[in-house]
């Protein structure tokens, strides 16, 4: 470490960062409160999601479920509906399961000890550190990708941040950096620097409060750090979906199973087609779609390819081709399926991909874009 000892390097970071944060911090709704429930919700929502996206969700969610007890008592559909559009729906389900645990085991108060907080469903080391430090000012590190980027650059650390051992090392380092009695502000200062100044691409070093001693910048390596081995690209999956309408203009939809990806959300009935060439074929695709849904008890007759949509999950990339369809016999829809019109559409919770498709359908935009006449 050039020109300055390790101890001075650490204390300069803590002091400069904290001083900067106290004047430069953004006014965010969850920063107006030390309510651990609010901080917990904000931290769960902020995982994989940008601050600007989270703000309106956070405000609506805390208005609808103002306390842990309200969240614990709410029907799951209401919680999913309030989360609709934020993605990663297991976060919402885990949050509610953990809220129920807080009510049952801790009398509705978010616990302030590490073992209890870390034991809540959906609360990993980062979130427990964030809740304990921000809400209770406990000297616990809260290390996520942003913080690892800042620390890698400031200390010029070459270790791969995708490795669990690196994260553990960074947690130890971040813990040492917390100034006495300042855990809440210091951890937020590190996060804020990563979000606002020391950004993944083109960090704003000239505006950075810790630039004087930043070892990565002094070595000219701020753009190449942190080192991160690449994750595998999401696996492509080809799916055919049926937009089945009846004479009254209603659409047949189904609810996903209670476990697994997008559990309990609503969707158009759809099936995976392992061979992309069959998925693309205007001859093979309708027959495959009809046969696969018939095997699930749903007899439909696909008519016209009307739209394509895609969605990228962490491990999967869905390519969804939508066919309009009509019911092929008089039997009632199988369990889990129902007919809906525009009013019911608004009440149910959907993954983004199907919400967009159906809102376009009900507004006539889908048919207009495909150049067909809506019935
Ligand atoms: S000087 Fe640049 S690289 Fe170093 S912490 Fe600040 S923004 Fe990041």
- Listed residues 218, 253, 280: the one ending a domain: 218
Report the alpha-carbon distance of residue 371 to residue 375 in Å, rounded.
13
Domain assignment present for residue 300? The answer is yes
Å from CA of 139 to ligand 1 middle: 24
Name every residue whose Cβ is closer than 8 Å to that of residue 171 and which is 6 or more positions away in sequence: 125, 129, 141, 143
Domain assignment present for residue 76? The answer is yes
165 and 287, same domain (yes or no)? no
Give per-residue pLDDT as tens, 68-81: 999 999 999 999 99
Q: In whole numbers, what is the pLDDT of the chain averaged over residues?
A: 94
Q: What is the mean pLDDT of residues 353-357?
A: 95
Q: Is the CB of 153 under 6 A from ligand 1?
A: yes
Å from CA of 222 to ligand 1 middle: 7
Reported as a pLDDT band with limits 50, 70 and 90, residue 216 is: very high
SS3 breakdown of the chain: % helix, strand, coil, rounded to 5? 50, 15, 40
Give per-residue pLDDT as tens, 297-341: 999 999 999 999 999 998 999 999 999 999 998 888 899 999 999
205 and 239, same domain (yes or no)? no
Å from CA of 189 to ligand 1 middle: 13
Q: Across the chain, where does the E strand assignment appear?
A: 235-244, 251-255, 266-267, 270-272, 300-312, 316-327, 337-340
Give per-residue pLDDT as tens, 78-128: 999 999 999 888 899 999 999 999 999 999 999 999 999 999 999 999 999
Q: Is the CB of 208 under 6 A from ligand 1?
A: yes
CA 213 to chain centre: 34
Residue nearest to atom 8 of ligand 1 (CA): 198
CATH number of the domain that 167 lies in?
Answer: 1.10.340.30
Q: Best mutation site among 151, 191, 211, 223 for ligand 1, i.e. most ligand atoms within 8 A of its Cβ?
A: 211
128 and 191, same domain (yes or no)? yes
Per-residue model confidence (pLDDT) at position 333: 87
Report the alpha-carbon distance of residue 226 to residue 158 in Å, rounded.
7
Question: How is residue 365 written in tokens?
Answer: 């935009």
242 and 197, same domain (yes or no)? no
76 and 185, same domain (yes or no)? yes
| Counted domains in the chain | 2
- Listed residues 185, 218, 251: the one ending a domain: 218
Å from CA of 250 to ligand 1 middle: 56
Q: Does position 1 have pLDDT exceeding 70, yes or no? A: no
Residue ranges making up the domain that contains 340: 235-370
Q: Does position 198 have pLDDT exceeding 60, yes or no? A: yes
Domain assignment present for residue 331? The answer is yes
Report the alpha-carbon distance of residue 139 to residue 125 in Å, rounded.
13
Whether residue 171 lies in the annotated active site: no
């Amino acid at each position: 470490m050039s020109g300055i000892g390790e101890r001075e390097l650490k204390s300069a970071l803590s002091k400069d960062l904290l001083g900067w944060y106290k004047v430069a911090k953004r006014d965010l709704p969850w920063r107006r409160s030390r309510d651990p429930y609010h901080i917990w919700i904000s931290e769960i929502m902020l995982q994989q999601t940008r601050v600007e996206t989270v703000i309106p969700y956070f405000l609506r969610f805390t208005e609808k479920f103002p306390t842990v007890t309200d969240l614990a008592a709410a029907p799951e559909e209401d919680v999913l509906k309030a989360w609709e559009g934020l993605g990663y729906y297991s976060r919402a389900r885990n949050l509610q399961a953990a809220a129920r645990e807080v009510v049952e085991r801790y009398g509705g108060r978010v616990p302030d000890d590490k073992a209890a907080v870390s034991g809540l469903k959906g609360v990993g080391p980062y979130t427990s550190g964030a809740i304990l430090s921000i809400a209770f000012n406990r000297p616990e590190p809260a290390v996520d990708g942003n913080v690892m980027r800042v620390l890698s650059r400031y200390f010029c650390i070459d270790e791969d941040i995708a490795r669990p051992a690196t994260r553990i090392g960074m947690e130890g380092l971040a813990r040492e950096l917390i100034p006495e009695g300042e855990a809440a502000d210091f951890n937020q200062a590190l996060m804020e620097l990563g979000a606002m100044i020391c950004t993944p691409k083109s960090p704003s070093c000239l505006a950075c409060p810790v630039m004087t001693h930043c070892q990565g910048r002094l070595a000219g390596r701020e753009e190449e750090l942190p080192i991160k081995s690449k994750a595998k690209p999401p696996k492509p999956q080809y799916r055919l979906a049926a937009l089945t309408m009846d004479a009254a203009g209603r659409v047949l939809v189904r609810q996903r199973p209670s476990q697994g990806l997008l559990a309990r959300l609503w969707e158009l009935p759809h099936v995976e087609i392992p061979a992309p060439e069959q998925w693309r074929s205007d001859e093979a695709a309708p027959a495959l779609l009809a046969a696969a849904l018939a095997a699930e008890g749903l007899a439909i007759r696909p008519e016209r390819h009307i739209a394509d949509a895609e969605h990228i999950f962490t491990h999967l990339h869905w390519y969804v081709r939508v066919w309009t369809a009509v019911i092929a016999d008089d039997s009632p829809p199988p369990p889990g399926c129902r007919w809906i019109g525009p009013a019911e559409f608004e009440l149910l919770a959907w993954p983004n991909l199907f919400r967009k498709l159906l809102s376009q359908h009900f507004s006539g935009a889908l048919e207009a874009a495909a150049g067909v006449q809506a019935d």
